Amino acid sequence: MTIQEIKKYLKKHNLLTFEYGSEFYSIERSRSLFCTQYSLLDTDALPQRRDSLEKLCEQVYIGNGVLLNEAIHSIGIPESDDSSWKTYKAVLHSAIVCGNEIHFFFRGKSYWIAYADDGKAHLSDNTGNTQWFDSCRALFNDARIDGYALEDIWGEVIVDSC
């Protein structure tokens, strides 16, 4: 992918989520009254913002210290029905960075991860059980289903939507 292709995409959409290595990242275009900003959104780091996509690509590093400008040539943007969007790391990125609700099934039960109006996150199931957390990141770190961490069971989970 090239900077021009990313710019073209971001003219129609405000967010481009991609895979590099086994990690997921997003590039966001936002506008204020006075300028347009581009941000690299990493699941585990603070957003990096620049006033142009070129500056973002030339000055920001991802992964193991790879300059975004070098990485964009080998980033992957899986098709919408690709199973990589349902991996633990993709769902983690979708929930934490994009604020998406996650719906999934595990051992015959339906679960969902969502946000409350006060910014707290919760994991609920179809039998009325709910676990509350101060943040979505805390939910992914501390939530338990049948005593197991989410990351530990994710191979058995069937993701419905994210």
Average pLDDT over residues 39-45: 92
pLDDT at 130: 96
CA dihedral sign of residues 73, 77, 83, 88: positive
Among the candidates 74, 92, 120, a domain finishes at 74
CB 67 within 8 A of CB 55: no
pTM for the model stands at 0.83
Domain membership of residue 80 (yes or no) is: no
- Structure-token pair, residue 33: 């009254």
Same domain for 68 and 22: yes
CB 52 within 8 A of CB 39: no
- Structure-token pair, residue 78: 């899986």
Domain membership of residue 145 (yes or no) is: yes
Total domain count for the chain? 2
In whole angstroms, what is the distance from residue 68 CA to residue 125 CA?
39
In whole angstroms, what is the distance from residue 137 CA to residue 160 CA?
20
CB 85 within 8 A of CB 78: yes
Average pLDDT over residues 27-45: 91
Q: What is the pLDDT of residues 56-103, one digit of tens each?
A: 999 999 988 899 999 998 887 767 777 778 889 999 999 999 888 999
Q: What is the pLDDT of residues 108-154, one digit of tens each?
A: 999 999 998 888 999 999 999 999 999 999 999 999 999 999 999 99
Domain membership of residue 21 (yes or no) is: yes
Same domain for 24 and 61: yes
pLDDT at 78: 67
User: Residue 62: how many CB atoms within 10 A of its CB?
Assistant: 21
CA dihedral sign of residues 49, 54, 59, 62: positive
Q: Is residue 162 over pLDDT 70?
A: no
Same domain for 58 and 22: yes
pLDDT at 92: 92
Q: Which domain holds residue 40?
A: 3-74
